[in-house]
């Protein structure tokens, strides 16, 4: 089982993105570390066009048996070009041909090592499969997307059995998933014989995260998340602040908080983190605009809903937009909570 980590040096959006420091370490190092930790991976190779990148890769334990030719390191180069080059090089120079290739992208540094082994096992246990690809739920449905034709008219991007799906409620539409650039596992024979990174028989590895880095904001989010992940894995207890309305309680546009309804998902995540020793602060802007004192009603609601917390603070500024460099979504925090003891 060979893990191949492509890491070319020519990144225009974020210069030298693949080796930029993220939580104090080169971004490249995380994928190498995860590949080495996977039980089903026996060899880790970084394919790069840069001597400097290769040196960094070796420092973190990966092999760099070649410098990738420039023809396979352009903006237009495809993954299939990189993987075919790697496999052909290994066959010609070492007589080495792995059964399975694990594709780990540097730009998705956040992944569970167990997921790598799970994907490999899925392929090993089902001979008819060509590949396994990690996916996350799509935030937008393609059934409400359009193409504009040459006559300046709209036509649906995709169709389904539902008549005029683009006019149907979202809940009635088929569930859609998107590839998240985290983990791909493919048979080497599919790469060389079918000239494909997936083949035609592809199994899904469902995940609830998507941290693919494609912008500065993505990079900042990954930097924050990796720092928190590292602290939790080392047993450090965090101080975590939850907004009440929209997280602990369902969003209330009327500002009549006596009618607030509990949000079970947010309460579940907060309680889990409380039970594992993290310091939970509930923060709210209730009363900031109206001047009304909601303290007693809020405390009663939290007790009735079974919310566990250490501090309840009022005085949060009511605003239309909050910009915070330590902001995580509830889904991201829930994924992080899976690693607490």
What are the chain's domains?
2-136+178-213 (3.90.550.10), 139-175 (no CATH), 237-337 (3.40.50.1000)
Closest to 240 in 3D by CA, of 250, 293, 248, 264: 248
Mean pLDDT of all residues belonging to the chain: 94
Please give the structure tokens belonging to residue 337.
């909570």
- Do 86 and 106 contact (CB within 8 A), yes or no? no
Instruction: State which of 110-119, 205-214, 314-323 shows the largest mean pLDDT.
Output: 110-119
d(CA 242, CA 236): 19
Overall residue count recorded for the chain in this entry: 341
Residue range 66-112, pLDDT digits in tens: 999 999 988 888 999 999 999 999 999 999 999 999 999 999 999 99
Is residue 341's pLDDT more than 70? no
3-state DSSP call for residue 26? strand
- Look at 335 and 89; give whichever has higher pLDDT: 89
**Does the CA dihedral 165-171-173-177 come out positive or negative?**
positive
Residue 195: which residues within 8 A CB-CB, separation 6 or more?
A: 80, 84
Please give the structure tokens belonging to residue 195.
């000239």
pTM higher than 0.85 for the full model?
yes
- Look at 80 and 252; give whichever has higher pLDDT: 80
Strand partners, 242: 282
Q: What per-residue confidence (pLDDT) applies to 332?
A: 87
Residue range 25-80, pLDDT digits in tens: 999 999 999 999 999 999 999 999 999 999 999 999 999 999 999 999 888 889 99
């Amino acid at each position: 089982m060979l893990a191949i980590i492509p890491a070319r040096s020519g990144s225009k959006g974020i210069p030298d993105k693949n080796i930029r420091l993220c939580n104090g370490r080169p971004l490249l190092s995380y994928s190498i570390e995860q590949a080495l930790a996977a039980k089903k991976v026996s060899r880790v190779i970084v394919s790069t066009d840069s001597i400097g990148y290769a040196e960094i890769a070796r420092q973190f334990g990966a092999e760099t048996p070649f410098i990738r030719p420039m023809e396979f390191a352009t903006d237009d180069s495809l993954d299939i070009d990189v993987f075919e080059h790697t496999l052909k090089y290994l066959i010609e120079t070492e007589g080495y041909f792995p059964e399975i290739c694990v594709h780990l992208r540097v730009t998705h540094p956040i992944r569970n090592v167990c997921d790598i082994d799970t994907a490999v096992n899925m392929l090993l246990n089902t001979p008819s499969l060509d590949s396994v690809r990690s996916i996350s739920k799509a935030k937008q449905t393609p059934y409400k997307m359009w193409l504009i034709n040459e006559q300046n008219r709209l036509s649906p991007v995709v169709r389904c059995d539902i008549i005029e799906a683009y006019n149907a409620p979202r809940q009635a539409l088929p569930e859609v998933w998107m590839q998240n650039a985290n983990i791909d596992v493919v048979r080497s024979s599919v790469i060389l014989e079918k000239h494909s990174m997936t083949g035609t028989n592809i199994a899904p590895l469902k995940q609830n995260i998507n941290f693919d880095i494609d912008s500065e904001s993505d990079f900042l989010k990954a930097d924050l998340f990796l720092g928190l992940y590292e602290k939790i894995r080392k047993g450090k207890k965090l101080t975590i602040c939850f907004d009440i309305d929209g997280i602990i309680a369902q969003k209330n546009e009327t500002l009549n908080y006596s009618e607030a309804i509990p949000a079970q998902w947010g309460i579940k995540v907060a309680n889990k983190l409380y039970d594992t020793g993290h310091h939970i602060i509930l923060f709210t802007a209730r009363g900031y605009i109206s001047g009304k004192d909601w303290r007693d009603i809020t405390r009663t609601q939290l007790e009735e809903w079974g919310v566990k917390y250490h501090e309840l603070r009022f005085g949060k500024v009511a605003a239309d937009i909050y910009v915070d460099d330590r902001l995580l979504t509830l889904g991201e925090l829930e994924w992080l909570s899976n690693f607490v003891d």
